[in-house]
Amino acid sequence: MTTSVSPPDTVPKERTAGHRMPFWVNQRLGLLVLVIALSVLFGVVRPAFLDQRLVLFPLLRDVATLTVVALAQMAALSVGHMNLAVGRMAAFGAMFAGIGYDKLHLPMQAGLLLCLAAGAAIGAVTGWLIARTGVSSFVVTLATDFALLGLVSLMYSALTEDAAFTTRPAGVDALRSYSLADICAGPVCGSPAVPQLAQFTVLAMLGLGFLYGGTRVGRELLLTGANPAAAELSGIPTGRRVLLAHTLSGLLAALAGFMAAAGTGTFRASIGDDFMLPSFLGAVLGGTLLTGGVVSVLGTLLGTALVGVIRKGLDLLGVGLESLNIYLGCILLLALSADRIRTVVSYRKVVRST
Amino acid sequence: MSTMLDQQGRAAAVLRRFSRTTTAMLLLVVVAGAVALEVASSGSFFEGSSVRVFLQYLATPILIGLAQMVALCVGQLNLAVGALGGFTACLTGVLMADHGVPAVVAVGAGLVTATAVGLVTGLAIVATRINGFIVTLATMTILLGAQYRLVGTRTVDGYSATLRDLGSAAPLDIPLVFVTAIGAAVLLGAVMYRTVAGRRLLAAGGNPLAARLSGISTDRQIVAAHTLSGLLVGVAAVTATASLPGVNRSVGGDWLLPSFAAPIIGGVALTGGSIAVFGTVLAAFVTRLIDAARAQFSLDPSWVNLLIGLVVLGTVAGGHLHQTRLARTTAPSPQPGGAR
């Protein structure tokens, strides 16, 4: 599901069968092997790791939420931009869902729609500012992050008693605790490890996969990221594509905020506080380029899953919370360095064989 | 007579040009804000003690803003500013409180560690060719973990009384930590504007290709900028350790956003090659004024974030409008009487 607008020199390499990149360059395959190998390793060392209800279910719920966060980052990265405000956009969206449930007594679906609309709106405002002023997305989203950080906590302290919306309509609790085991087709039930919350992740992945892989707009987004000048010259309204990418990013961030709120059961201002690092980890480990033009929807899921498995596994092995961050940082650096070495080596091989 | 008029005219022209710069606008904002606060607090804002408190907590924003500015000037970002500062502050505190290291040695160790981390970051960026954003994101994560491992959930406050005295010392109501920050700014300005090394940094940031063609190693400049940034963060950490009642794992947690706000409001371009030492210092003043106003009217601390975010967005949008207007007014001038 990788979609890329490659620079001209790599396109023939991928197309012609004669001198293809070797298979081990495929980042997603490596990630998949790594995720499975690590899961097996942790499962052997600590059999509790494979406990479906107590370990795998929360793990997959976290992975499902963080994948959507990483997809939100990926949408911004696809046009070569960043969204430093993913976490705060998630909090912003979740706040609207909370207001909808608490003050307007909306049903679950309506609150979700309100949440998504709020996220898309704030993303669109950010995108419009970036496209209109031409200022780096880093600055604009950083400033948006500041502003939303203040705004969201002000709204919570103005609207609630104890800084959280606790009213939950029917259905939210089900989302939190139901797994596929609660869906039965006759006598056959699903696995209790897969949370129902994952349906949103699957939908988001399918949607983005179709957008980037199968539509003209998706190609235009990638081209805008790969080479804005060329995109402009080939008649692509780059400003509008940037706006679209940031709107998508805000929409997905809000969805992640809703998922995080549903997962913990309360709508509070601290939702999304720790979203920034995972958003970049998942997307970048999955093969999405920071410079734009290359995205990988499946890779994003695998990258997030890898981080989640490592986190959970180290946790079960008794590595303290304080050291987890040290390992995660090292893993990020190692993975990227390894990737870099792999690319350089395989590139040399390809060059030699031609 | 005519020369005097000439001089007056020239001075007026210089003044007019200055009045359009970001620095002048910031200066105006600082003065207006201070006067407004003075009025609002019915005359107590300019009293000795409140000036002292104001300046005391201004040192860290100035220093972290400068640290970020140095990284920005070669076109890099340093996301690890807060984490490195917090780690260094905790390291200094733990060395003094738990291991009985004398203050001078502990401060020295803190500065050296921060500089070394900056150096390693720079080397990692140059060696792996990974985007500096990701590398500093990784070092940020690692340092956060290291800081947490160092102090856990406790607050280290049993450290040297000498350092604490220095931190709260304020001859003429001007705190020493503020003097340190201003001294660092002046030194940095001198290095950037007056020495070859500073010029090289700016050249490498402004146009890497041209810099390389004229014999400047951009890799070395990137390493140098990150090292210098680390050193400045180290100084910020020392001032924070000296003026805070104790260090814990939350030190540095809220440094990242202000470190970007100061240079950006101060007029530094994120693309590299430009620098504004005075502007950054003034921008730190502005953010501190917002904080002081928040305290004056006893508002929710969240207002500060909201306002700073809006100010940065406003600066960005305003700067763009200014640019387009400048472009419109100066564009026809190269060929007067042309087709337009």
Residue A243 has pLDDT above 60, yes or no: yes
Side-chain-facing half-sphere of B327: CA atoms under 13 Å: 6
Looking at residue B207, which CATH number applies to its domain? 1.10.3470
Query: Residue B38: inside a domain, yes or no?
Result: no
The residue in chain A having the minimum alpha-carbon distance to the alpha carbon of residue B301 is A150
Q: Which residues of B touch A327 (CB under 8 A)?
A: 145
Structure tokens at B215: 């014999």
Tally A–B CB contacts below 8 A. Answer: 132
Stretch (H or E) spanning A295: strand A294-296
Q: How many angstroms separate the CA of residue A270 from the nearest CA in chain B?
A: 13
Q: How many angstroms separate the CA of residue B182 from the nearest CA in chain A?
A: 26
Q: Find the helix packing angle between A216-226 and A57-78, rounded to 10°.
A: 70
Cβ of B123 under 8 Å from any chain A Cβ? no
Test B135 with A333 for CB contact under 8 angstroms. Answer: yes
The residue in chain A having the minimum alpha-carbon distance to the alpha carbon of residue B263 is A139
Q: How many angstroms separate the CA of residue B223 from the nearest CA in chain A?
A: 17
Q: Report whether B201 contacts B224 (CB < 8 A).
A: yes
- Supply the range of the domain harboring residue B210: 47-311
Q: Scanning the structure block, which residue is given the tokens 């709020």? A: A118
Q: Scanning the structure block, which residue is given the tokens 């792999």? A: A342
Cβ of A104 under 8 Å from any chain B Cβ? no
Q: Which residues of A touch B300 (CB under 8 A)?
A: 153-154, 157
Query: Residue B17: inside a domain, yes or no?
Result: no
Q: Of A257 and A33, which is predicted with more confidence?
A: A257
Interface test with A, best of B265, B290, B305 (most A CBs within 10 A): B305
Q: How many angstroms separate the CA of residue A337 from the nearest CA in chain B?
A: 6
The lowest-confidence range among A151-160, B16-25, B106-115, B216-225 is: B16-25
First to last CA, chain B: 40
Separation CA B313–CA B311 (nearest Å): 5
Quick one: average pLDDT of B190-201? Answer: 82
Choose the most confident range, by mean pLDDT, from A244-258, B53-67, B198-212, B248-262: A244-258
pTM to 2 decimal places: 0.80
Test B257 with A330 for CB contact under 8 angstroms. Answer: no
What is the count of structural domains for chain B?
1
Test A154 with B140 for CB contact under 8 angstroms. Answer: no
Residue B286 has pLDDT above 80, yes or no: yes
Which amino acid does the sequence have at B177? V
Q: Which residues of A touch B138 (CB under 8 A)?
A: 329-330, 332-333
Query: Residue B139: inside a domain, yes or no?
Result: yes
Give pLDDT, residue A8. Answer: 43
Q: Which residues of A touch B264 (CB under 8 A)?
A: 139, 143
Q: How far is CA A296 from the centre of its chain?
A: 11
Nearest CB partner across the interface for B139, out of A149, A157, A329: A329
Quick one: average pLDDT of B306-312? Answer: 80
Per-residue pLDDT of A6-22, as tens digits, reads 444 433 334 444 445 55
Q: Of A307 and B1, which is predicted with more confidence?
A: A307
Q: Which residues of A touch B305 (CB under 8 A)?
A: 146-147, 149-150, 153
Query: Residue B295: inside a domain, yes or no?
Result: yes
Q: Which residues of A touch B148 (CB under 8 A)?
A: 321-322, 325
Q: Report whether A297 contacts A209 (CB < 8 A).
A: yes
The residue in chain A having the minimum alpha-carbon distance to the alpha carbon of residue B77 is A138
Give pLDDT, residue B335. Answer: 41
Quick one: average pLDDT of B227-255? Answer: 84
Give pLDDT, residue A7. Answer: 46
Interface test with A, best of B142, B270, B322, B324 (most A CBs within 10 A): B142
Q: Scanning the structure block, which residue is given the tokens 């009384």? A: B161
Q: How many angstroms separate the CA of residue A136 from the nearest CA in chain B?
A: 8
Q: What is the mean pLDDT of chain B?
A: 78
The lowest-confidence range among A13-17, A288-292, A317-321, B222-226 is: A13-17
3-state per-residue secondary structure call for chain B: CHHHHHHHHHHHHHHHHHHCCHHHHHHHHHHHHHHHHHHHCCCCCCCHHHHHHHHHCCHHHHHHHHHHHHHHHCCCCCCCHHHHHHHHHHHHHHHHHHHCCCHHHHHHHHHHHHHHHHHHHHHHHHHHCCCHHHHHHHHHHHHHHHHHHHHCCCCECCCCHHHHHHHHCCHHHCCHHHHHHHHHHHHHHHHHHHCHHHHHHHHHHHCHHHHHHCCCCHHHHHHHHHHHHHHHHHHHHHHHHHHCCCECCCCCCCCHHHHHHHHHHHCCCCCCCCCCHHHHHHHHHHHHHHHHHHHHCCCCCHHHHHHHHHHHHHHHHHHHHHHHHHHHHHCCCCCCCCCC
The reply to whether CATH 1.10.3470 applies to domain A2-182+191-353 is yes
Interface test with A, best of B81, B137, B153 (most A CBs within 10 A): B137
Query: Residue B231: inside a domain, yes or no?
Result: yes
Residue B245 has pLDDT above 60, yes or no: yes
Give pLDDT, residue B326. Answer: 63
Q: Which residues of B touch A333 (CB under 8 A)?
A: 124, 128, 130, 135, 138
Per-residue pLDDT of A170-201, as tens digits, reads 777 777 777 666 666 666 666 777 777 888 89
Test B134 with A129 for CB contact under 8 angstroms. Answer: no
Structure tokens at B40: 């609002």
pLDDT band with cut points at 50, 70 and 90 for residue A43: confident
pLDDT band with cut points at 50, 70 and 90 for residue A68: very high
Taking the domains of chain A in order of start, what are their residue ranges? 2-182+191-353
Test B149 with A133 for CB contact under 8 angstroms. Answer: no
Per-residue pLDDT of A87-117, as tens digits, reads 999 999 988 888 888 888 888 888 889 899 9
Quick one: average pLDDT of B278-282? Answer: 84
Q: Which residues of B touch A82 (CB under 8 A)?
A: 133
Residue A166 has pLDDT above 90, yes or no: no
Q: Of B119 and A343, which is predicted with more confidence?
A: B119
Quick one: average pLDDT of B145-163? Answer: 77
pLDDT band with cut points at 50, 70 and 90 for residue A255: very high
Residue B259 has pLDDT above 70, yes or no: yes
Percent of chain A with pLDDT over 90: 14
Q: How many angstroms separate the CA of residue A319 from the nearest CA in chain B?
A: 11
Test A153 with B300 for CB contact under 8 angstroms. Answer: yes
Test B134 with A340 for CB contact under 8 angstroms. Answer: no
Give pLDDT, residue A26. Answer: 66
